[in-house]
Amino acid sequence: MRVIIESDALAASRRAARFIADQIRRKPDTVLGLATGSSPLETYRELIRLHQTEGLDFAQVTTFNLDEYVGLGPSHPQSYRHFMQQHLFDHVNLAPSKTHVPDGRALDFEVHCRVYEQQIRDAGGIDLQLLGIGTDGHIAFNEPGSSLGSRTRLKTLASETIRDNARFFGGEEKVPRLAVTMGVGTILESRRCLLLAFGPKKAEAVRNTVEGPITAQVTATALQLHREVVGIFDEAAARLLV
């Protein structure tokens, strides 16, 4: 993993946005893998700014999001589809038909997950996958114990993740227990990955991911098997790295 450490989250996010913008400029029909949560927020804000001020063109870009809560439809304020519309899709010239977020209200999740994987393949595979990391070291919703070869599927959220995300739902009891998520194997097939981590709460997960043994207990460690991962961290998240 190539590690880039910036002084703070804002500088790191701007660096990440430039990295994504370079990818889009080099390959206008880029297939981007996208994440939700607090980590990519500033990066999305900066991408919107680059679109508005420098004409960064998303017209040919296709996107696939990592995950979605089961039971939440696109109009639910905490659904990841809603998040993406609000924080990126509604502000750039992405074609709505080229944006993909797993459907939290699919009638048959087995079929839906298979189709999602097929759509990624049909698009030519993911060129650049943006990732955050959970405090327990998860990527997407691949919680501790997920197979490192896993594919898109339903996953039960770990109690640590439910606790971490309770702030968005106004209480732990309101957080959905299940999510649809790309698997670790799906993520590893992306041509390049960009991992973001900010703040002291991520320091242990970052150390485990970069320097720890590869283990299904910290699914981000599987990124050590990938040839092209860039980690952009702030100093607080990187502080336990040797």
Q: Which residues are catalytic?
A: 67, 136, 138, 143
**Among the residue ranges 30-38, 45-53, 97-105, 149-157, the one whose residues contact ligand F6R (CB under 6 A):** 30-38
Question: Closer CB to ligand F6R, residue 38 or residue 85?
Answer: 38
Q: Give the binding-site size for ligand F6R (rule: CB under 6 A).
A: 13
Question: Closer CB to ligand F6R, residue 62 or residue 146?
Answer: 146
104 binds ligand F6R (CB under 6 A): no
37 binds ligand F6R (CB under 6 A): yes
- Give the C-alpha separation, 74 to 81, whole Å: 5
User: Which residue in the set 67, 103, 117, 127 belongs to the binding site for ligand F6R (CB under 6 A)?
Assistant: 67
60 binds ligand F6R (CB under 6 A): no
35 binds ligand F6R (CB under 6 A): yes
Contacts 24+ apart (CB under 8 A), 174-179: 176/69, 176/70, 176/71, 176/72, 176/104, 177/70, 178/69, 178/70, 178/71, 178/154, 179/67, 179/68, 179/69, 179/70, 179/104, 179/141, 179/154, 179/155
38 binds ligand F6R (CB under 6 A): yes
Residue 157 DSSP class: P
Minimum separation from the CB atom of position 168 to ligand F6R (A): 8
Contacts 24+ apart (CB under 8 A), 100-103: 100/62, 100/63, 100/64, 100/65, 101/65, 101/68, 101/74, 102/65, 102/67, 102/68, 102/152, 102/180, 102/181, 103/68, 103/180
**Among the residue ranges 86-94, 119-127, 138-146, 147-155, the one whose residues contact ligand F6R (CB under 6 A):** 138-146
238 binds ligand F6R (CB under 6 A): no
- Give the C-alpha separation, 63 to 100, whole Å: 6
User: Which residue in the set 88, 120, 140, 237 belongs to the binding site for ligand F6R (CB under 6 A)?
Assistant: 140
**Among the residue ranges 44-52, 54-62, 132-140, 152-160, the one whose residues contact ligand F6R (CB under 6 A):** 132-140
- Give the C-alpha separation, 179 to 142, whole Å: 10
42 binds ligand F6R (CB under 6 A): no
Binding-site ranges for ligand F6R (CB under 6 A): 35-39, 66-67, 132-134, 138-140
